[in-house]
Chain A
Amino acid sequence: MFDTEREIKDTKIHLCLDCGKCTVVCPVAQYEPEFTPRLIAQRRLRRDSSRPHDDTIWSCLNCYMCVERCNYHVKFPEFIQILRAEAFSEGVQPQCSHGGALQSLMHLMSLEELKQDRMGWLPQDIELSEPCDTIFFIGCAPYFDIIFGDLGVNTLAGIKGALRLLNRAQIPFTVLDNERCCGRDLLLQGDREGFLALARANMEEFARHGIKKIITNCPEGHYTLKVEYPAILGNAGIEVMHLTEVIAPLLQSGEMSLGRIEKTATYHDPCTLGRCSRIFDQPRQILGGLTGLEFVEMEESREKSLCCGASPWVNCGAVNREIQKQRLAQAEATGAEILVTTCPKCQIHLKCAQKRSDGKAPQIEIQDLAELAARALD
């Protein structure tokens, strides 16, 4: 299923000219001089035996900024994923953040006979269509809100908002009460077996329910279900859309409208939704549909958007914190009252920086786009 040399070739790493442009734009390299994408590539391709395990590979954020800059579009983050999978299979493990709670949770969620009880939060007023071959993929929000509750994280508010928007748009959908984590974070940290277990469990569940279309609010889940699952498990013919791709066209065509919100807001492009999935306009169109909302762009936005400093729950440290503070400062500099994003992980990481930086990080309010837009439905 995985052919390392073929995969390495597919990343186009052999085209690397050693120009160093990636290092200039890489947010990690800014704060961690040891981290140089092109040298990591050289060490692996030359199989430098003086350094059996290159421990700098765990610092990459998978933010795709380097791919955007590289003249040859060398897919360096994908190259890093291959190196991590190699290291993982040799028994090298990254340092897990949060005491490994998320890794264990993901592994537990892949247990075949698991019957989760994860829908207790579903508001009464949400209309589900049964039976329906379209589902809304919730993602890990119910779990995140417990694990990161002390950071003031409320990712379920975004999910509830998304469901209300779909109801208002009169798009029929249902939810699966035993969906699993998409597994992206295991894939990114090199645990391919763990990822496959989750991917297979989800795909079996989709097949059992005859699912033809999936809408999700989580950029990570969106990319994983849309791109990684078909690439690894074969194309099952399921259409996957991000919520903003469903709602924005309806606002543009006038088939749906949103109410008033008298606030100034800026938008943080999650790397996976933006640079990976190329969804830059739709979230802005939704913000544009809110009457009274003043929208201001950050200095680095769209293709140049700075990462939130997230990691696949490994190796989170001082470098990540500096990146998070830098992003929050960029948001504050716009004068916006709200920093809007569409990714639960961006929300978690930025709120963590706000809460755990001794008051040194800008305290701008952070909200999910769907949560904000749904507030303007009444």
Chain B
Amino acid sequence: MSKQAPNIVIFACNWDGLSCVEAASQAGYCYPASVKVVRVSCLSRIHQGLILKAFELGADGVILLGCEPGNCHFDIDAGLVTHEYENTRSILNLLGLGEERLVIAHLAHGDGYGFMKQVTGFITEVEQMQPAIPVKA
């Protein structure tokens, strides 16, 4: 039996981020069912608490997927999320889980192929990470 695919949570912004996920589905790309997409109004709504909660619930990796710089629907761009992203990466390092388990991706509107590349590349990276996040008893 093949190894179980890692649990990936993607926080995708409602605008360019989600458009990439939809474009990928429309183009018929396949990705493992263990990848869960959570729609948020803007990546600026994401904070350490939400990301850590995903890990607490068993995520092996988290992707923050948002608009390219200059394209933010609310003109907030990466300002708010960058702080949360960097803090959470530092916490993941302290926990010994590794900062690489959290990435941020900015894609152009409707870039389904870019999304697929991002997801499959990240799955491969997470699979190679040792040790994997221990499963809760």
Contacts of B55 in A (CB 8 A): 104, 108
Task: Pick the contact of B134: A99, A111, A117 (CB < 8 A).
Answer: A111
Contact of B52 with A104 in the complex, beta carbons under 8 Å: yes
Asked whether A143 and B91 contact (CB < 8 A) given A99-B47, A101-B52, the answer is yes
Contacts of B49 in A (CB 8 A): 96, 98-101, 104
CA distance A190 to B73 in the complex (A): 41
CA distance A109 to B48 in the complex (A): 15
Which of the candidate stretches B12-20, B33-41, B93-101, B108-116 sits at the interface with the other chain?
B93-101
Contact of A108 with B83 in the complex, beta carbons under 8 Å: no
The digit string for B98-137, where 1 denotes a CB below 8 A from any CB of A, is 0000000000000000000000000000000001011011
CA distance A105 to B48 in the complex (A): 10
Q: Which residue of B lies closest to A117 (CB)?
A: B96
Asked whether A101 and B56 contact (CB < 8 A) given A109-B95, A114-B96, A146-B90, the answer is no
Task: Answer whether residue B76 sits at the interface, using C-beta atoms and an 8 A cutoff.
Answer: no
Within 8 A of B (CB), among A91-112: 96, 98-101, 104-105, 107-109, 111-112
CA distance A115 to B98 in the complex (A): 11
Size band of the B side of the interface? 20 to 34
Nearest CB in chain A: distance from B96 CB, A: 5
Contact of B94 with A118 in the complex, beta carbons under 8 Å: yes
Contacts of A104 in B (CB 8 A): 49, 52-53, 55-56
The digit string for A128-147, where 1 denotes a CB below 8 A from any CB of B, is 00000000000000110011
Nearest CB in chain B: distance from A257 CB, A: 36
CA distance A115 to B136 in the complex (A): 15
Task: Answer whether residue B25 sits at the interface, using C-beta atoms and an 8 A cutoff.
Answer: no
Main secondary structure of the interface of B (DSSP, over half): helix
Contact of B94 with A146 in the complex, beta carbons under 8 Å: yes
Contacts of A114 in B (CB 8 A): 95-96, 134
Contacts of A100 in B (CB 8 A): 49-50, 52-53
Contacts of A150 in B (CB 8 A): 83
Task: Answer whether residue A116 sits at the interface, using C-beta atoms and an 8 A cutoff.
Answer: yes
Nearest CB in chain A: distance from B101 CB, A: 12
Q: How many contacts A-B (CB < 8 Å)?
A: 65
Contacts of A108 in B (CB 8 A): 52, 55-56, 95, 97
CA distance A149 to B83 in the complex (A): 11
Task: Pick the contact of B131: A105, A109, A115 (CB < 8 A).
Answer: A115
Contact of B87 with A146 in the complex, beta carbons under 8 Å: yes
Max chain B CB contacts within 10 Å: which of A107, A108, A150? A108
Nearest CB in chain B: distance from A205 CB, A: 14
Nearest CB in chain A: distance from B74 CB, A: 19
Contact of A116 with B96 in the complex, beta carbons under 8 Å: yes
Contacts of B90 in A (CB 8 A): 146
Contact of B48 with A99 in the complex, beta carbons under 8 Å: yes
Contacts of B133 in A (CB 8 A): 111
Q: Which residue of B lies closest to A97 (CB)?
A: B49
Within 8 A of A (CB), among B45-85: 47-50, 52-53, 55-56, 83
Task: Pick the contact of B137: A107, A112, A149 (CB < 8 A).
Answer: A112
Task: Answer whether residue A113 sits at the interface, using C-beta atoms and an 8 A cutoff.
Answer: yes
Contact of B131 with A113 in the complex, beta carbons under 8 Å: yes
Contact of B47 with A142 in the complex, beta carbons under 8 Å: no
Contact of A143 with B48 in the complex, beta carbons under 8 Å: no
Contacts of B52 in A (CB 8 A): 100-101, 104-105, 108
Nearest CB in chain B: distance from A368 CB, A: 20
Residues on B facing A (Cβ under 8 Å): 47-50, 52-53, 55-56, 83, 87, 90-91, 93-97, 131, 133-134, 136-137
Given A111-B133, A147-B48, A147-B91: 19 more A-B contacts, CB < 8 Å: A98-B48, A99-B50, A104-B55, A105-B52, A107-B56, A108-B52, A108-B56, A112-B134, A113-B134, A114-B96, A115-B131, A116-B94, A116-B95, A117-B94, A117-B95, A142-B94, A143-B94, A146-B90, A146-B91
Residues on A facing B (Cβ under 8 Å): 96, 98-101, 104-105, 107-109, 111-118, 142-143, 146-147, 149-150
What are 23 A-B pairs with beta-carbon distances under 8 A? A98-B47, A98-B48, A99-B48, A99-B49, A99-B50, A100-B50, A101-B52, A104-B53, A104-B55, A104-B56, A108-B52, A108-B56, A108-B95, A111-B133, A116-B95, A116-B96, A117-B95, A118-B95, A146-B90, A146-B94, A147-B87, A147-B91, A150-B83
